[in-house]
Structure 1
Amino acid sequence: MTHSGTAAPARRITAVPEKIPVTLSVNGKPVKLLVAPWTTLLDALRDHLNLTGTKKGCDHGQCGACTVLVGGRRINSCLTLAVMQEDSEITTVEGLARDGELHPLQQAFIDHDAFQCGYCTSGQICSAAGLIAEGKARTADEIRELMSGNICRCGAYPNIVAAIQQAMERS
């Protein structure tokens, strides 16, 4: 009873959902996980697979630090659930290099010093890989517009654009 003499409302007990199995292909390798239904792809990559190149920035899809490629398309991994990507091909920044050789974008970012603190770099590189695959950007202005979902707090934008242009020329 409460101090006013009325009975306290009954508390509902909510059962915690069981973990769900999910199969993904991450960087070319099949992966089976058991995750809570609310686990984002970002958290699955970082916490379950220890792929920490993908960064948690805003956790609201506004900064692009968590950008990965799903089926070759760039997405914010903080905005999708891992279970929604069942059987999807996911590529993180760790999966772009091949046979010990950097991806052309990774090399271009080094060549053009297209990072300062480096926090946004993996998302920038994955987004740029998706951008190049889309084939829509031809000019620096188009690159800037189509990369606008990836924020760099250090302001390395001119170098990022130059790096993307270099990689576009070599692909």
Structure 2
Amino acid sequence: MAQAKFPFYEQLAFDFYRTTVLDSFPVKKKITVFKYILDVHPNYFFTAPNYVGSLNHKTDAKFVLLKTYAESQYDFDSPMAELNTDSVNKKQFRVKEKRRNYYPKLLITLPFTEESSPERIFININEEHSETLIIFYSLEFDANGKVVNWCRTEHQIYIEY
């Protein structure tokens, strides 16, 4: 059985973020982005998109990991193992080889699909400003890797002592 060919979703998400999202929601400080995909993925799970008033999004949708895609990234010789950061604006981004607690930092989830609509691909871009402030950008891709919808959700975590 031949392995399915996928677009490099994390790269597409990163390129969309730096060329489109930052125009609408600029960040005042340099954003740290990690070069290697295993460092780019967050330690927490995917968040369902919050398309306010969208008719094409079901609130009870179940999302599943695009497993064959995720497994392909464990091959370090894969063309999907490292983000291409050659053309980033050095005034906007700080590119790091290894994951550390730099803020703000950018993390990108693995791709997920809606269980009832596997042709729709979803990725979260997590813009972490601190341990308590995370801004989620949910991107929806078509099967060819084109962004067809996106939204922004801000999460403030309050810690009581």
TM range, normalised to the smaller chain?
under 0.3
TM-score, length basis structure 2: 0.25
* Bigger strand share: 2
Greater relative contact order (Cα < 8 A, sep 6+):
2
Larger Rg: 1
* Bigger helix share: 1
